[in-house]
Amino acid sequence: MVDVSKIRRALEVNEGVLRLAPCWVPRIAQIPGRRLRLDPRDLYACGAHRGGINERWFASTTHANNGPGTPPEEGLSFVALGDDRILLKDIIDTMGDELLGEEVMRRQGGWNVLCKFFDNYGAIPHHMHQSDEHAKLVGQRGKTESYYFPPQYNLTLNSFPYTFMGFDPGTTRSDVIRCLENWGNGDNGILYLSRAYKLEVGSTWHVDTGILHAPGSLVTYETQVNSDVLSYFQSMLDGRIFPWDMVVRDVPPEFHHDLDFIVGMLDWEANVDPEFALHRRGHPQPVKDLAEMADAGYCEKQLALAKGRYSSTELTVYPGCSVVIRDQAAYGLIVVQGFGSVANSDVATPSVIRYGEMTRDELFVTASAALQGVRVTNRSDNENLVILKHFGP
């Protein structure tokens, strides 16, 4: 039960801002990349049987789909009020009009975005995320996602800073079906049909639903629809063998062995696009005139914009500067460099984080505070304060 009066008092004191506790998520199929600033002693804090911690989720109201044995609160962010911890989801469910605004709650029914860092030593298996049409068949939402590779978290590139995306032009559906038919014979050869792109620190990618991708080993700031649907199309990676269950995890039971249906979940034209990278790779773009922002002591750039779904930006406040930033909607934020304050809340980038320990690098800003304007102050005299901001629809 959410104590509404307590939340309102906290919002009043903190000028419309809530502090969030770190939300760590393990993944059984991946090897942690060790760059999320989580203490190495805690990489397997959830138990080795559940995999290493290679993701940190931000302002999340989405439960992690990690299969049987997943704790009910895994993937959900907690608001920190002194020694109390309250689920952000519960607060939004109870008083969403005050956090997100009446129009957003009426139209969206909640905070429909999921943002995270993921950090792997190597690549992820070639997989896709279902469209709204196909995800609806299993009671979920389609999952579009966008990537940014923050320099502050990519001082080392780990073992495979390349991402396979889509298919070579000329690939046929029959080629892909043959790979699925070979699932039980070791490496099913799906990557022979694809292209790998070298990942550039500081660049962006946009991946629509139905597009196959095998993210490489850079730490990735991922903004996406709040869904955890996927289907693997690669049977083996670095000696790890994946069961057929990973293909059909989010496929209706009656289609578990219907290869035409499974391949039909792909956006075929997008996957074989001969100008794939041209249409999906980019770089952060300034949200205003650069000189105007520089005169005010800051720079803000658009990282992702999936209309009607989500967006994200990178805000840099220069040393010793204080600026008021106005936005049109509520947002979550993560500080990736420097220290200072956001509204009435101190912020600082941690060096090492113990599992379960509080930090001062993550906040949630309400819609009313964003519209009124939030003062962001860089208290360093020689280092930028850099903040990544994630917005819902």
CATH assignment of the domain containing 13: 2.60.120.10
Same domain membership, residue 289 and residue 278: no
pLDDT at 176: 98
pLDDT at 67: 84
CA distances from 136 to 131, 132, 142, 254, 308 (A): 8, 6, 8, 15, 18
Same domain membership, residue 261 and residue 358: no
Q: Output the pTM of the full model.
A: 0.96
Q: Which residues of the chain have pLDDT under 50?
A: none
Same domain membership, residue 146 and residue 108: yes
Same domain membership, residue 154 and residue 128: yes
CB count within 10 Å of CB 204 equals 22
Same domain membership, residue 306 and residue 277: no
**What are 285's two structure tokens?**
């773009």
pLDDT at 393: 81
pLDDT at 188: 98
pLDDT at 1: 82
Q: Which of 133, 267, 263, 271 is nearest to 214 (CA)?
A: 271
pLDDT at 228: 84
pLDDT at 333: 98
Quick one: CA dihedral 365, 390, 92, 109, positive or negative? positive
Q: What is the DSSP letter of 123?
A: P
The CA-based angle 345-346-351, given to 5 degrees, is 140
Query: What's phi and psi for 311, nearest 5 deg?
Result: -155, 165
pLDDT at 29: 81
CA distances from 124 to 179, 182, 338 (A): 18, 20, 31
Q: Of 282, 306, 328, at which residue does a domain stop?
A: 282
Same domain membership, residue 301 and residue 235: no
Domain count, the chain: 2
Same domain membership, residue 335 and residue 278: no
Q: In angstroms, rounded to a whole number, what is the distance separating the alpha carbons of residues 63 and 299?
A: 34
Identify the H or E element spanning 107: helix 102-108
Q: Which of 206, 211, 254, 216 is nearest to 231 (CA)?
A: 211
The residue to which tokens 């993210």 are assigned: 215
Same domain membership, residue 12 and residue 102: yes
pLDDT at 87: 98
CA distances from 333 to 78, 195, 225, 257, 291 (A): 14, 33, 16, 42, 25
Same domain membership, residue 181 and residue 92: yes
Same domain membership, residue 313 and residue 186: no
Q: Of 233, 253, 282, at which residue does a domain stop?
A: 282
Same domain membership, residue 382 and residue 234: no
- Which domain does 313 fall in, by range? 285-391
Same domain membership, residue 244 and residue 193: yes
pLDDT at 68: 86
Q: Of 282, 315, 339, at which residue does a domain stop?
A: 282
Q: What is the DSSP letter of 109?
A: S
Q: Residue 292, exposed/middle/buried by CB under 10 A (0-12, 13-18, 19+)? A: exposed
